[in-house]
A and B are shown apart, each in its own frame.
Chain A
Amino acid sequence: MLHVQGLTGGYGKELIVKNVSFDVQPGEILGILGPNGSGKSTLLKMISGILPKQAGSVKIADRDADSYSPKEFARNVAVLPQMHAHAFSHTVKATVELGRYPYQTGLFSSWTTEDEAAVTHAMERTGVTRYENTLIESLSGGEQQRVFVAQALAQQAPLLLLDEPTNHLDIAYQQQLLDTVRSLAVDEGKTVVSVFHDVNLAALYCDRLLLMENGEIAKIGSPQDVVREPIIQSVYKAAVKTQAHPELPKPQMTLLPSMNDSVEVPLVVDETQFTVTADSVQFHAPHSLKTVSSAVHNPGTGWYTTFVNRHVDANYECDDVKKEMEDYLEKSGHHLTDTVGMMTAVQTLHVEIASFADEGVSIVIAVTAGVGNAVDVSMAREREAHVGTINTWIIVNGRLSDEAFIQAMITATEAKTRALQTEKVLDPLTGTQATGTSTDSLLVAATQIGQELPYAGPITPLGKLIGTGVYECTIRAIQTYKEAKGWKG
């Protein structure tokens, strides 16, 4: 649909776009990215014929763009400009009607039913019909932008060029607008080329991205190929980290601010910082710890300061455990967004807390263990789940990588299973060796200050501490549990 070959040009003598070539197919959205001054808007202006080109060619529908008359061009290419203020105001309807200008011919420019239908359709499509007699200046920025989308749609052009369409829009409008653009491409086969300021939005909505640097193409390809740490860092000269979108197979990036001001005194966690009562085990950190857990409240990955392992009755039953947990935490004066909460039927006073240090690495481990629901995972069938019975916390003084978190969890789980084996805990249903209980929970938190700890496999310094620490604490916790229950160890 759009074929750009060796496009070169700029303002006056200064070349802003140099030798840019690419193709866009019908139904495809191409996002143009790049730092300020990289020439992305200039490129779009050259394609839309606002700026003259000094070399190269632009072909639209296999025809040279220069060979179109102004009206013909507008029937084939609709441009959505950046938002700006206007001196005089039209009504919404009159504004959208201007989109039919390229279809008007003759002195009296008769308005056809087709024109009317296109305008009505465009206004419905963008949800601005109810404003049709309102002056655009009295609409909010997002609504105004929708009116201009409607105007562009009324042009019924197969190629859409957008210049930072979401500028000045709040996120709901950004989403609405880009969802509309997406469905124009997917459902109606329109070809879309859009300049983006926001790398993440572009990665979310575009099929391909074109990254500009100093007027040239730095990279063109799928979002996965373009939104990569080394590429973004070198083009944008900014420290970023990329990660997967939580729900979609699209890359997203976040800035890494250079903040050295957060912690003056490095935090070193040890067992004395834990508060143990008959009601709960609590640990409160002076700053947030990066945490991965299978807790009841705030599971998954996040940054938290407060960690609560709460004692509940063995017959605890509740329809909405999460809600009940929130109520409990709130009542106990904890801030819900800063807190990770687990529960156990085990007496919290029986918690095993210990610090372990070696080779300059130090961790704190806290385990509450009850083995009433012990399960051999290899023989597990359908069983009723009871309240979690082995809750393990591992708090690391150091900076963990993503893989270190996962390895820490593997290592801890292996150590726990080994402890059950040592204590000869059996699955009461099968009589075989138990590997855990039905609802065990695990939490790994790290201060993310100080020493880099990239790995936590069983033979790394950190892995060794976790392995032996979890093993020892779990054994002691099980022994305490057995004594309390009056079992003979």
Chain B
Amino acid sequence: MRKPLIAYIVSAAVLLTAVGLGVSIGSVHVPISTLWNQGADTTATNILWKIRMPRVILAGLVGASLAIAGAAFQGLLKNPLADPYTLGVSSGASVGAVMTLFFGISIPFLGLYTLPVFSMVGAAITMFVVLGFAKLVDRGLNMETIILTGIIFGSFLGSVLSLMIALTGEELRQIISWLLGSVSMRGWNYINMILPFTIIGSLLLWMNRRELNAMLFGEDRAKHLGVDVKRRKLVILIGGSILTGAAVSVSGTIGFVGLVVPHMTRLIWGSDHRHLLTLSFMNGATLLIICDLIARTIISPTELPVGVITAFIGAPVFAFIFYRQRKGGTA
């Protein structure tokens, strides 16, 4: 990390700008001053606080969760192509979430949190199955092995989802649009749903920032440096699953945020997890806020699902990283 302080200032500034743009731009222009101007127009205040702000914050939380989870997965697996989406973890979370909707599961004391909790359980199970299977295939856990396994399980879970959707009938359209990944029309409720998990998951990962640094040199090396590898790995995988599950439960599968953001952040500010995790968190929020802004304005009045935009940006970046890795360069 070359200039940590500058990195934080720049990232925070960009994030605030994104929030500002996010709340003011749209079918109706809302001046940013509405935020603090008590005597502002009631319609503008309503749009800002009831529609735009929750949407922007939700986008920010989802982006932040996916990005920090991606950064941790990449560090843990020493694999620049790992992110909740490519590992199939997002699909697992989706299956968990859709099952909750499909069977109308509601666990009394979980209430509002039934959906995210099932989603996280889906994410965690997928995570362990994917890694377990990959390890069975190739003890060395090669980059390609993990990604291929992720794709295999992702496709399988995708077909499970299709089956459930086909069986639902009337709620079909809602589930599909949810699956494509969107943060629109969610409201403050959803923020309440994701926020605690974003905080817990991020803290779990942040507590392992040094361990992630050590694990970049391999698990054996980390062990030599005094890292309790087994325990730390478990905590990191659980933290990542919590974040992915929570994000998917409020917004569906939004791909590539967890891939692109840590990659870009690492490229600019270095791969020291003491800063990379926090910076990816901030930049992830920024990216998704901006992608969402584009999604709802680019072919206005029609809205695109934000997952379309992230995939549009993410897939070429994925290809680029893959190319660089295979050519012997490092990401």
List A residues at the B interface (Cβ < 8 Å). 45, 48-50, 69-75, 77-79, 81, 84, 86-91, 94, 98-99, 101-102, 104, 107, 109, 133, 135, 137, 151, 155
Most interface-central of A77, A84, A86, A109 (chain B CB within 10 A)? A86
Whether B225 contacts A98 by the Cβ 8 Å rule is: yes
CA distance A84 to B221 in the complex (A): 11
Interface residues as binary, B204-228 with A (CB distance below 8 Å gives 1, 0 otherwise): 0001001101101110110111111
Contact A99 B225 (CB under 8 A): yes
- Residue B122 at the A interface, CB < 8 A? no
Q: B225 touching A155 by the CB < 8 A rule?
A: yes
Chain A residues lying within 8 Å of B226, measured Cβ to Cβ, are: 70-75, 101-102, 155
**0 or 1 for each of B73-90: is its CB under 8 Å from A? (1 = yes):** 011001110000000000
Q: In whole angstroms, how far apart are the Cα atoms of A104 and B207 in the complex?
A: 12
**Cα distance, A78 to B228, chains bound together (Å):** 15
Among A73, A79, A88, which residue has its beta carbon within 8 angstroms of that of B330? A88
Are B331 and A87 touching (Cβ within 8 A)? yes
Main secondary structure of the interface of B (DSSP, over half): loop
Closest residue of chain A to B328 (Cβ to Cβ) is A85
Q: Is the CB of B220 within 8 A of A137?
A: no
Specify which chain B residues have a CB less than 8 angstroms from the CB of A91 in the assembled complex: 1-2, 270, 272
Do A87 and B272 form a contact, CB below 8 Å, given A74-B225, A98-B213? no
Given the complex of chains A and B, what is the CA–CA distance between A118 and B325 in angstroms? 35
> Which residues of the partner chain A approach B74 to less than 8 Å between Cβ atoms?
88
Interface string of B225-239 (1 = CB under 8 A from A): 111110000000000
Chosen A-B contacts, 13 in total, with CB atoms closer than 8 Å, are: A48-B224, A70-B227, A70-B229, A73-B226, A78-B224, A81-B218, A81-B221, A86-B216, A88-B271, A88-B330, A90-B271, A101-B225, A102-B225
Is B52's beta carbon under 8 Å from chain A?
no
B218 with A137: CB separation less than 8 A = no
Q: Residue B55 at the A interface, CB < 8 A?
A: no
In the bound complex, how far is the Cα of B329 from the Cα of A135, in angstroms?
Answer: 13
- Choose from A88, A98, A107, A135 the contact partner of B207 (Cβ within 8 Å): A107
Smallest Cβ-Cβ distance to A71: which chain B residue: B226
Q: Hey, which bits of chain B sit against chain A, CB under 8 A?
A: 1-2, 74-75, 78-80, 143, 207, 210-211, 213-214, 216-218, 220-221, 223-229, 266, 270-272, 325, 330-331
Q: Give Cα distance in the complex from A135 to B330, angstroms.
A: 11
The residue of chain B having its C-beta at the shortest distance from the C-beta of A95 within the complex is: B217
Q: Check B221–A137 contact: CB distance below 8 A.
A: no
User: Within the assembled complex, what's the spacing in Å between the Cα atoms of A370 and B32?
Assistant: 111
* B330 and A87 form a contact (CB under 8 A): yes
Find chain A residues with CB under 8 A from B224 CB.
48, 50, 74, 77-79, 81
Cα A69 to Cα B2 with chains together (Å): 33
Contact of B228 among A70, A89, A135 (CB under 8 A): A70
Q: Say how far A426's CB is from chain B's closest CB, in angstroms.
A: 77
Closest B residue by C-beta to A76: B226
Is A133's CB under 8 angstroms from B2's CB? yes
CB neighbours (8 Å) of B216 from chain A are 86-88, 90
Chain B residues near A101 (CB-CB < 8 A): 210-211, 214, 225-227
Measured in the bound complex, the distance between the Cα atoms of B224 and A77 in whole Å is 8
Most buried by B among A89, A94, A98, A137: A98
**A49 with B223, Cβ < 8 A, contacts A87-B80, A88-B271, A91-B272 known:** yes
Contacts of A151 in B (CB 8 A): 225
Q: A98 and B214 in contact (CB under 8 A), knowing A70-B228, A74-B224, A89-B271? A: yes
Cα A69 to Cα B220 with chains together (Å): 15
Residue of A whose beta carbon sits closest to that of B209 = A109
Bound complex: CA A364 to CA B229 (Å)? 74
The residue in chain B whose Cβ has the minimal distance to the Cβ of A108 is B207
Residue of A48, A72, A74 with most chain B CB atoms under a 10 A cut-off: A74
Known: A71-B226, A74-B224, A101-B227. A90 touches B79 (CB 8 A): no
How far is B224's CA from A73's CA once the two chains are assembled, in angstroms? 8
Q: How many angstroms from the CA of A3 to the CA of B181 in the assembled complex?
A: 60
Chain B residues contacting A102 (CB-CB under 8 Å) are 225-226
